[in-house]
Each structure stands twice: as C-alpha cells, then as structure tokens.
Amino acid sequence: ENAGQTLGLPGRVIRHLLRIRREDIRMLNGLPFGVVPRPPDGVQPARETATQAEELVPLVPLVAFVGDEDAPLPVRDGAVSVAVMEVDGVRCGFAVERMMDVRTLLVSDATAVGLDSELVPGIAWPREDQPVFVLSPDRLFARWRLRGAGGVVRFSDVDDAATVTPVRHAPLVMVVDDSITTRTLQKTILQSHGYDVCLAVDGEEALALLQQSSRHVDVVVTDVEMPRMDGFDLLAAMRADPHLADIPVVLMTSRDEGEDVRRGMEGGARAYLTKQRFDQGELIDTIRGLL
C-alpha cells in the first residue's frame, strides 16, 4: 500500500519481503542501502562467512514511480518495509508503506482505466470497492535505472531533509535493438568501458523511456529495422521533441545502402555504423567523440 493505493507486485520477481530497521540502513555515497541475504547458488560453501552470505541492495520509495518523485522512504515503527525484486539479474529494494497480502488474483487489462498503462498494464479487484493496480516489473526497473540519484534523501520520520551530494554518474547510453543478442553484446561492451547502459526493444519503447526519464540519456545507439517504430522514425520523433532533440543518435544497422545512410544522416543521426563491419573500437570511439 502506498499513498492510499493498493499496488500489486508480481511474485515471480520478488526475492525477499523484509522489515529493515532504520538503524540497519547503510548510507553509501549519500544513498540508502539495505542488507539482504544473498541468494543461494546450489549448496553454500561450509566456510562461507556471514558477510559473504549477505549483499547490499539500493532502497527507493515505490511511490516515487507512481505519483510522487520526491517521496521519502516510509518509516513505520522504526523500520522500513521493503520488497526486494530482481529483473535481469539486478536487484532493488522498493520501500512501501504497508505490505497487505500474498494471493492469486485475476488480472485484467488496465488500458481503459486511464492510468499509466506502460507501468500499470493490469488491474485486479479482490473486492468490488478496492482495485489493485498491478505494476510491470520491467517498466519499474527501467524507470528506476533512468531515474538517477543524488539531490535529497529523506526518511518519513524526520522533518528536515538531509542534503546529499549528487552522485557523479558515468555517461548513460541507451541501446535500442529488437535482437536480444545484439542488445546484450553492446551492453557488455559499453559497460566494460565504464558507461551506464539502458535497453529498449524498439523505437516505441525507447521514445517512452526517453520522455519519462528523470535521468538524462547522453547517447542513443539504435538499430533501424525494428517492429512498431523503426530507427528512422525514432530519430524523427526525437528531433521533433525539444527535450530530446539534442541527444546524439548513432544508427547501427545491417542496412548499408547509400540511400539508407543519406536518409539517416540527413534525418539528424550523428553517426551511421553497419553491423556487417562491426568493430567495438569504432563504436566506443564514436560515442567518445559525441560526448
């Protein structure tokens, strides 16, 4: 429960439901982290220490993504209720005001409800007068990654906000490609060179993330041939949006005809790379030059 709303979190991504005492929350670089048990990989080594059996996960207020970006971490009775979720091997602890129940619900399409259908794709009615808004874990994590950090960290049981020195981020590169192999390859290359990376499966998802993000994307690397919205249309949409028009776009595609290259460059792309002659050094040098 958050701010009077009942929210549903799919059980398949939940790893822990915890009450973390306020004094056990660790502040690293001005950001709150919780200590949670590390998931077992088969049989734990007999000599593994207690420290090795634990890990730190970042803590964020869930309500920051469903209505109040500046919401504090909710503290009740000296502790924070946290749902630790995992998507694509990454974990985050979403703090909630109150945990309600674990149950099986029939979820229906929420498009017609007038909500943010990207983040809330479904709705359930355990009681006729109390809807449960079911969140998409993938969308939630995408927005968390793009939200960034720094500014002010607050706890709901403290009146005065504690000012935090903003965290210096690595440049953020968005990779847009409908091929999971290509996305994963580019993500690995970019992260190994110190860049933060966010992913989108096509132009439509990329445009939505760019428009909704509170963290600035520094460079977009996009394929051209994709379902729903291709790379050319994404480029045109970004150039038409004054908030996105200045973000450099690199087209990386298997289409190497001169007409395609001209169309991309005349449409506003800052570079055009072909997959047939893909060279990770060229990709890194191109991004470095744009930054």
pLDDT digits (tens, 9 = 90+) for 16-42: 999 999 888 888 767 788 888 765 544
Residue where a domain stops, chosen among 112, 147, 164: 164
Question: Is 80 exceeded by the pLDDT of residue 45?
Answer: no
The total domain count for the chain is 2
Q: How many CA atoms lie within 13 A of 275 on its CB side?
A: 17
Closest to 183 in 3D by CA, of 156, 214, 222? 222
Asked if 37 contacts 53 with a C-beta cutoff of 8 angstroms, the reply is: yes
Identify which of 165, 161, 163, 187 has the alpha carbon closest to the alpha carbon of residue 174: 187
Domain match, 129 and 192 both: no
Q: What is the mean pLDDT of residues 91-114?
A: 81
Average pLDDT, the chain: 81
> Do 211 and 270 lie in a common domain?
yes
Domain that holds residue 143: 6-164
Q: Which of these three, 164, 199, 228, is where a domain ends?
A: 164
48/126: higher pLDDT: 126
- Please tell me whether residues 110 and 17 are part of one structural domain: yes
The answer to whether the beta carbons of residues 47 and 129 sit under 8 Å apart is: no
pLDDT at 111: 60
Give the sheet arrangement for strand 249-253, strand by strand: 196-200, 172-176, 219-222, 249-253, 271-274
Per-residue pLDDT tens over the stretch 164-197: 344 456 889 999 999 888 888 888 888 878 888 8
209-243 residue pLDDT tens: 888 776 789 999 999 999 889 999 999 999 999 88
Element (H, E) at 87: strand 79-87
DSSP 103: -
223, 177 contact by CB (below 8 A) = yes
The residue among 98, 202, 196, 97 whose CA lies nearest residue 149 is: 196
Answer yes or no: are the C-beta atoms of 143 and 212 closer than 8 Å: yes
For residue 141, the SS3 value is helix
153 and 203 together in one domain:
no
Residue 207 included in any domain: yes
Look at residue 167 in the predicted model and tell me its pLDDT: 44
Q: Examine the fold and report which residue of 132, 164, 196 is the final residue of a domain before the chain moves on.
A: 164
Helix or strand or coil: residue 108?
Answer: strand
CATH number, domain at 204? Answer: 3.40.50.2300
Q: Is residue 124 part of a domain?
A: yes
- Residues 41 and 155 reside in one and the same domain: yes
Q: How many residues does the chain have?
A: 291
Residue 1 belongs to a domain: no
